[in-house]
Amino acid sequence: MNEDEPYLSARELAKRWRIPIATLRQWRWLKKGPHFRKVEGRTLYYLKDVLAFEEAALRHHTTMDSPSFKKLF
């Protein structure tokens, strides 16, 4: 682990996204959500991975999720 690289704990990430910490736990079990590391029993999320996940989840409008929009591509 790079000591200089900023990271968030699961609690900090849950607070950032305003979701229950249990949601992050479930996402880890389902292999969803941002990449994480287990270090000495602690779950850590590197900030660069969190930002990449947020960017990938960015939507410009709700139409992007519709089946008709997906047919365009």
Residues 6+ apart with CB under 8 A from 15: none
Please give the pLDDT value at position 62: 64
Residue 8 to residues 27, 38, 48, 49, 53: CA-CA distances in angstroms? Answer: 16, 12, 10, 10, 14
Strand 37-39 to 7-9 pairing: unpaired
Token output for 54? 């947020």
According to the model, what pLDDT value does residue 46 have? Answer: 97
How confident is the prediction along the chain (73 residues), in pLDDT tens digits per residue?
A: 456 679 999 999 999 999 999 999 999 999 999 999 999 999 999 999 999 999 988 876 666 566 654 554 4
